[in-house]
Amino acid sequence: MPRVLAALLYALAATAARLPWRWLAALGDAIAAAALRRNSRESRITLRNLELIQPDAAPADREALRRDVVRVTARQALETLRFWTRPHSRNLADIVEHHGAERLDAAIAAGRGVIVVAPHYGNWELLNQWLASRTPLAILYAPPESAIGDAFLQRVRAAHGDASRVTQIRAEAAGARQLFKWLQGGGVVGILPDQQPKQGDGEFAPFFGRPALTMSLLGRLAARTGATVLIAWCERIGEDARGPRFALHLEPVDEAVADRDIATSVAALNHAIERVARRDLAQYQWTYKRFSIQPDGINPYWPDCY
């Protein structure tokens, strides 16, 4: 049954995604305006995050950035429906600039395995498709609580592409072992590194000047396998009648990410993510409660953002 319902959701998504981009952009802007007007949960979370990372900013400046974040987030949701339901070759044509793609080729050729750090910045689903076009890829993902949602993700991430080139690995204990074996075989692994892990599965490190519980798995994998670690993102650099245009970036990260001292490793990881996010704060995922677990036990989102 979950697969059947996921197929129906896919059909609806594909139908919506066929609309001209100017219609989808207008729809996204209308959704964002409604969310701001109603002060939706996502809008409240965004504002709280901006208060946490910019405590000295003028309220008017934070409010302007909140509007930008909510608008970009709404447009991205519709933009991603198109990427999920169109041929990947068509999606990849939206990447009009490539910076550092040769680094991935060189890292693969080295044969030690590659870990691609993919922050929630720009459009990470488009990045996944570009990576899969270059090499077989394992993606670590946190499965939705809904079986239907999980089946939907499995479907859309394989649709219109070569499903055999993308292996989705659940963020569980068994998944870590799969990633280790994948890297030992010289494979490429993509990890979204900025989701809050469970307590006990991470370490606190500064992120925009705030303590953020950060995954330690990535650093442990790098230290144990000697894999090359690259950070990658697809950044929006404009749009035309066809839709947003993107620039692909791949860069090396500080070798400290692979340090066997966990505190050193996660601090280097967060520094790399923050450097990307600061390129354009509106393109980073601020609708997520990144700081809800704190060393002092106080949840800064409670109760206003629930």
Asked whether residue 64 is assigned to any structural domain, the reply reads yes
pLDDT of residue 135: 94
Comparing 2-6, 36-40, 90-94, 198-202, which segment has the lowest mean pLDDT? 2-6
Asked whether residue 305 is assigned to any structural domain, the reply reads no
Tokens 């680094």 belong to residue: 103
Cα Rg for the chain, rounded, in angstroms? Answer: 19
- Mean pLDDT over 49-74 rounds to 98
- Mean pLDDT over 90-111 rounds to 97
Cα 122 to Cα 248: distance, rounded to the nearest angstrom = 10
Q: Is the pLDDT of residue 21 over 70?
A: yes
- Mean pLDDT over 208-223 rounds to 97
Beta carbons of 261 and 39 less than 8 angstroms apart = no
Confidence at 198, pLDDT banded by 50, 70, 90: confident
Number of structural domains, the chain? 1
- Mean pLDDT over 217-232 rounds to 97
pLDDT of residue 85: 92
pLDDT of residue 170: 85
**Tens of pLDDT along 234-290?**
999 999 999 999 999 999 999 999 999 999 999 999 999 999 999 999 999 999 999
Comparing 5-19, 39-53, 122-136, which segment has the lowest mean pLDDT? 5-19
**Tens of pLDDT along 107-154?**
999 999 999 999 999 999 999 999 999 999 999 888 777 888 788 887
Cα 22 to Cα 24: distance, rounded to the nearest angstrom = 6
Tokens 């109760």 belong to residue: 303
Asked whether residue 292 is assigned to any structural domain, the reply reads no
DSSP annotation string for 293-304: S-TTS--TTTTT
The b/e string for 77-96 (b: 16+ C-beta within 10 A; e otherwise) is ebbbbbbbbbebeebeebbe
pLDDT of residue 209: 97
The DSSP call for residue 159 is: T
Asked whether residue 302 is assigned to any structural domain, the reply reads no
Asked whether residue 291 is assigned to any structural domain, the reply reads no
pLDDT of residue 13: 83
Confidence at 160, pLDDT banded by 50, 70, 90: low
- Mean pLDDT over 189-218 rounds to 94
* pLDDT mean across residues, the chain: 93
Confidence at 76, pLDDT banded by 50, 70, 90: very high
Asked whether residue 298 is assigned to any structural domain, the reply reads no
Asked whether residue 289 is assigned to any structural domain, the reply reads no
Beta carbons of 114 and 189 less than 8 angstroms apart = yes
- Mean pLDDT over 18-29 rounds to 96
Q: Which domain holds residue 85?
A: 2-283
Q: Is the pLDDT of residue 164 over 80?
A: no
Asked whether residue 306 is assigned to any structural domain, the reply reads no
